[in-house]
Amino acid sequence: MTRPHSMGGIGPKGISPDEKNSAAAMPQETKRTRRMMMKDLEKRPHTVFHALKVTGCAFALAAMFGCPVYEQSLPGTFSGDETQNAQTQALPGWLSHLKADLSRQELLETERLIAGIRSEILQHPTLVGPAASVAADWLPAMKSLQQTDGEILEITPKMLGSLSRLLDGIEAATGDHSLATAAGRINTALRSHDLDGIPIDAAISRLAKVAATEPFVDDASLRMTRSGRGLARENEALMIPAAAHSGGALGTRWRTDLVLTAAGGNPTSVTLALLPKNQANPQPQTQQISIEGGQSRALDDILETLFQFSGTAALQIRCNSGSVAVTSRTYNLEGQAGSPDSRTFGQFVPALSDDDAIVFGSQGHLVHLSHDPSLSRSQRTNIILVNGGTKTTTVEVELFTSMGQSLGTVSRSLGAWEFSQFDRVFEEVTPSVVDDGYAVVRVQTTGGRVFALASVVDNLTGDPVAVPAVLRAPHDETYESQTVVIPAAAKVSGFGDTDWRTDLVLTSLTEATIHGVVTLLPRGEENSAPTQLFVQIPQGQSIRYEDVLDSLFAVTGAATLRIQTPLGTTGVSSRTYNVLGQDNAAGYPAGATFGQYMGPVDSPRWFSFGEDALIPHLSHDPTLIAGNRTNLGLVNTSDHTIDLEVDLFENEGSLLGTVTISLRQWENVQISKVFERVTGDTVSGGYAVVRTTDATGSFIAFGSVVDNTTGDPITVDAVGLRRPVQAGLAAGGDMLMKVFESGGSIRTAYELLQEGILLDAIEGELPEFVTRTPGGIDINLGGGAGLGETVFAAGRISLEHASAVDGSHVTGTLTVDFDDMAVDGLAPVVNDLELGLDLTQITGNHITGTMTLGSTGLSKTVDQLGGSLVFDTRICEIYPIGGSITVTISGEERTLTFSNRCDGGFEADIPSAEYYSLALSINSCQGGKMAQRRVINLIKEDGMVSVDPSSPPGIEGRRRYDARGVIGDGGPFEASIQFAQKAGAGNDGERVIGSFQGRQTGSDDYVYYTGSYGYSVAEGECRSSYLNGRDDPNFEPGILMQCEGPCDDSR
């Protein structure tokens, strides 16, 4: 990333005078940390978001709880000695008194609450902005209190508002029920001002007591999906803010098609609620729909066909089970539906999540708005508002010109779940033409939540685009930058004599001039040294770069645009459209347009290894004279070449075929008429799933669905599915050992076979998940459930069983089918297993015998699997004492060999594997450094890192830890390892959980990575967290070292 050069009004390092004055008031340590951060971000733009998490987390936690302020980076943010610059401050005196006032349990719960909030801020992008606002609002008051050793904290409404918004976000984002409940209860206390102006120790004591109302639990949420716009998991809801079966201005006729796709491979059930316009909807009409796993269901003209309703309405979609992707298109229908003269112009209306709601104290910006009151040229703008709850809520919409001049304010009071629309909204404040204006939406009611959307309609064609609100908390100030991507822009002639171009709009959301960089990334090219231009957006203004490829870069063709501006300061939007000329076939006046909104995609929404990008709502008619066609857009957001796989499905979930493609650094492509790569048939309601096979790669994917009659397109955004990583053989063997550890021992199997109650016993252990089938049972774990003390599993398993008993000798078979199954986030090596048991009870009630393994449901890469395990409980009660399993993966034969070491370990003969040793210096729960460093030996197989099961005795990582992560394949790519000590594996109940991130820093004799790590330690009732070794002035960086073979004590 290249920093903008100094321009008028810009101070050193691209900081404006206002920012410079603000920075001057910052502590010297803070300024040094920010300089270090920005210096590093120049080198590595993909760490921009990571760096923001550093400051947001550290400042917010210090501000809320009076903890020491640590101006310190998180793992992987800085390099070398920069990671060791920890600046600390002493605890204020009142905190010592507080400890005496709190019970030990309350102190523990406070510590857990802090750790939980820290964890959520690190995991959820939507919490970073609210966390930074808390820091800005609370830190000055806390520092003032500390300097005077005071006991009274003056809590202002602004402080209450920012903390309340953060807790709102935690309630919505967290997968930890206990944390969500604690956050909600604290939030209730804050909103009632129970803490206003009371002694600080009493305030924190009250927070601790509220947090202690429910016990905290370990977070084992290895989810199959990530929530957000367009995707809902169980008990989550999405909002389609506008749908129609009605007439409109200038003779338009509006219809809405909705598509529901069961995501993650499991069935889903949803409830749809109709929210008619201009009325409160406390008890709306509802319909329930169930969809089989992997299938997609299109509900055309949904208001008429599902609800028998005419008019306009919003739709709420609540997921009752599984996960569902939701998309919609609202369009102007010309001619009779289904007739030869039928043609449509439409807009993609996104399904908004709770994260998209504007809440009290924040504001939403609607940008890229225009209005011509003559309605004979240009566009008109409608603004849509939906109350996101049952509380009557007042909303104000302030309208601005492109120059930042306020034209006036309109307001509405919305009843429970009420949908309202301002038609031709600019006419309420001005009779003049408005080009490139914008609106600021503010919720005026405490506790209110509102969804906002603008619909900008071409007056000549009736073609609309839907523009979602850009959210921003007021008074946010930031010194960091953000990178967003407009995936596609054009200056090109297209299919059917279309003439495509793109307008880019940048809007200042702050009271300062914005300076940024726009980078051109031409389509089909490697973009290691792209063209960059510096832009300036004056305070409060909106600038449209019409036909941006020509006007800004003087190029033709297609490209991706990368925009870098200070974080949270800029609204970015674009519209790609076709301009009709004289005597066009459609019969419209020259200058009429139709096109698609192309929104910005920021780095948290880029897809990475281990995630599937699901693009629903796709269709293709190969005649190209009716229906639609689908083009697929792909952007590599990595600094190296990556490989992508694109699976294409029809609506019933059948795989039509797979397209593979390699993209060079920041290369972008369009696969036109993508379904023609795999089928010659018509596809309706299909979808695509895109993934990268590169462990360090990231990408953007989207669909462009084009009406074959009019050429009008819509952009269909991808939603993310966190798919389980395909286990290698070593990790697969470890999964099998976990089954034995969690209660599935050979003795248990013998007893259940002997009594003929194997399936009954499984149903008794998991009654809420088991369904009986004619041949066995189905176990549907959905998004995940804990099995025993050591296993967290998700997905569906089908079991069929047969057995025979002859005295003390039993034989049996068990067929296991895996359906999107994951154990601790790993998918099994194969799709099914056939287990054969031959067991005998001998003297002393011991069990001996064998278990054979085979498979017919081989995966894409597994060619063959077979083997057997030997058991003798006289030698080892839980694990096998001998035998082997052999698997052929991608033509390579790999073998696991078991012995009587009785610790769950085994030898792995994997020719292509790489071996690493991770050494960490860990503090005890009470704070002192543990005598010995922790060593975790790892194996890298097929790009995935796990614990090496063949580590020799004496190495702690052999069976005491679980580990997962990635290590770069050559070059300076980062290593990222998550590790967790197994329950009961530590001394005196100790347990360590954390993560390491590092960079390759040496390769002369051997490859090694150095970096930082954060972890938590639990021992008895003690709970402590350590970030980056910050509590240890003699902190030693973590070292990840490659070994020539399996690592031992010499490395």
Neighbours of 67 (CB within 10 A): 16
Per the model's pLDDT, the better-predicted residue between 81 and 197 turns out to be 197
Residues 535, 515: Cα–Cα separation, whole Å:
6
Whether 177 has a pLDDT exceeding 70, the answer reads: no
CATH code of the region 913-1051? 2.40.128
Whether 403 has a pLDDT exceeding 50, the answer reads: yes
- For CATH 2.60.290.11, the residue range(s) in the chain are 222-352, 357-474, 477-605
pLDDT tens-place string over residues 645-669: 999 999 999 999 999 999 999 999 9
CATH code of the region 620-723? 2.60.290
Which of these ranges, 479-488, 567-576, 861-870, has the smallest mean pLDDT?
Answer: 479-488
Per the model's pLDDT, the better-predicted residue between 558 and 84 turns out to be 558
Nearest residue to 52 via CA among 368, 342, 482:
482
Q: Which fold has domain 357-474?
A: Hypothetical Protein Tm1070; Chain: A (2.60.290)
- Sign of the CA dihedral running 943, 886, 657, 267: negative
Instruction: Name residues whose C-beta falls within 8 Å of residue 972's C-beta, 6 or more positions apart in sequence.
Output: 999, 1000
Query: Treating both helix axes as pointing N-terminal to C-terminal, what angle do 48-65 and 28-43 enclose, rounded to 10 degrees?
Result: 160
DSSP letter string over 202-254? HHHHHHHHHHTTS---------SS--BTTEEETT-EEEEEEEEEEE-GGG-EE
Contacts by 943-947, CB closer than 8 A, 24 or more apart: 943/609, 943/693, 943/694, 943/695, 943/969, 944/695, 944/725, 944/726, 944/727, 944/728, 944/731, 945/916, 945/977, 946/727, 946/728, 946/730, 946/731, 946/734, 947/734
Count of all residues that appear for the chain in the document: 1051
Residues 170, 173: Cα–Cα separation, whole Å:
5
Which of these ranges, 70-74, 322-326, 540-544, 720-724, has the smallest mean pLDDT?
Answer: 70-74
Instruction: Name residues whose C-beta falls within 8 Å of residue 583's C-beta, 6 or more positions apart in sequence.
Output: none
Buried b (16+ CB within 10 A) or exposed e, 904-933: bbbebebeebbbbbbbbbbbebeeeebeee
**pLDDT at residue 919 in the model:** 87
Q: What is the mean pLDDT of residues 148-162?
A: 58
**pLDDT at residue 495 in the model:** 62
Which of 80-94, 196-210, 438-452 is the most confident on average? 438-452
Whether 901 has a pLDDT exceeding 50, the answer reads: yes
pLDDT tens-place string over residues 356-388: 899 887 889 999 999 999 888 888 999 999 999
According to DSSP, the β-strands at 379-387 and 481-494 are: unpaired
**pLDDT at residue 2 in the model:** 30
pLDDT tens-place string over residues 982-991: 655 444 557 7
Q: What is the mean pLDDT of residues 460-487?
A: 74
Q: Which fold has domain 222-352?
A: Hypothetical Protein Tm1070; Chain: A (2.60.290)
- The enclosing H or E element of 164 equals helix 157-173
Q: Which residue has the tokens 């004055």?
A: 21
Residue 384 near residue 441 (C-beta atoms within 8 A): no
Residues 488, 631: Cα–Cα separation, whole Å:
12
What's the number of CA atoms in the CB half-sphere (13 Å) around residue 938? Answer: 28
pLDDT class for 56, splitting at 50, 70, 90?
Answer: very low
pLDDT class for 865, splitting at 50, 70, 90?
Answer: confident
Per the model's pLDDT, the better-predicted residue between 61 and 968 turns out to be 968
**pLDDT at residue 888 in the model:** 87
Which of these ranges, 313-322, 434-443, 923-932, has the smallest mean pLDDT?
Answer: 923-932
Residues 651, 294: Cα–Cα separation, whole Å:
8
3-state secondary structure of 937: strand
Q: Which two tokens stand for residue 98?
A: 């507080």
**pLDDT at residue 636 in the model:** 96
**Burial degree of 88 (CB within 10 A; 0-12, 13-18, 19+):** middle
Per the model's pLDDT, the better-predicted residue between 1010 and 13 turns out to be 1010
pLDDT tens-place string over residues 67-118: 333 222 222 222 222 222 222 233 333 333 333 444 444 444 444 555 555 5
What's the number of CA atoms in the CB half-sphere (13 Å) around residue 915? Answer: 19
**pLDDT at residue 89 in the model:** 31
Per the model's pLDDT, the better-predicted residue between 901 and 201 turns out to be 901
Whether 146 has a pLDDT exceeding 70, the answer reads: no
Nearest residue to 261 via CA among 213, 319, 193, 308:
319
Q: What is the mean pLDDT of residues 966-973?
A: 56
Per the model's pLDDT, the better-predicted residue between 200 and 13 turns out to be 200
**pLDDT at residue 503 in the model:** 94
**pLDDT at residue 795 in the model:** 66
**pLDDT at residue 164 in the model:** 64
pLDDT above 70 coverage of the chain, percent: 67
Task: Please state the φ and ψ torsions of residue 505, each to the nearest 5 degrees.
Answer: -120, 125
**pLDDT at residue 722 in the model:** 67
pLDDT class for 133, splitting at 50, 70, 90?
Answer: low
Which of these ranges, 212-216, 406-410, 836-840, 1033-1037, has the smallest mean pLDDT?
Answer: 212-216
Whether 587 has a pLDDT exceeding 90, the answer reads: no
pLDDT tens-place string over residues 743-790: 667 888 888 888 888 788 777 777 777 888 887 888 877 655 555 544
DSSP letter, residue 1032? -
pLDDT tens-place string over residues 559-581: 999 998 877 788 899 999 988 87
Residues 831, 827: Cα–Cα separation, whole Å:
9
Query: DSSP alpha helices (H): ranges in 474-629?
Result: 548-553
Which of 56-60, 572-576, 1047-1051 is the most confident on average? 572-576
Q: What is the mean pLDDT of the chain?
A: 75
Instruction: Name residues whose C-beta falls within 8 Å of residue 545's C-beta, 6 or more positions apart in sequence.
Output: 503, 504, 505, 506, 551, 552
**pLDDT at residue 108 in the model:** 47
Distances in Å between the alpha carbon of 277 and those of 22, 237, 517?
46, 19, 42
**pLDDT at residue 798 in the model:** 82
Q: What is the mean pLDDT of residues 218-240?
A: 61
**pLDDT at residue 925 in the model:** 75
Residue 651 near residue 641 (C-beta atoms within 8 A): no
**pLDDT at residue 731 in the model:** 80
Neighbours of 300 (CB within 10 A): 16
- Superfamily assignment of 477-605 in CATH? TM1070-like (2.60.290.11)
pTM of the model: 0.62
Which of these ranges, 278-292, 616-630, 858-872, has the smallest mean pLDDT?
Answer: 858-872
Q: What is the mean pLDDT of residues 578-595?
A: 81
**pLDDT at residue 333 in the model:** 80
Whether 494 has a pLDDT exceeding 90, the answer reads: no
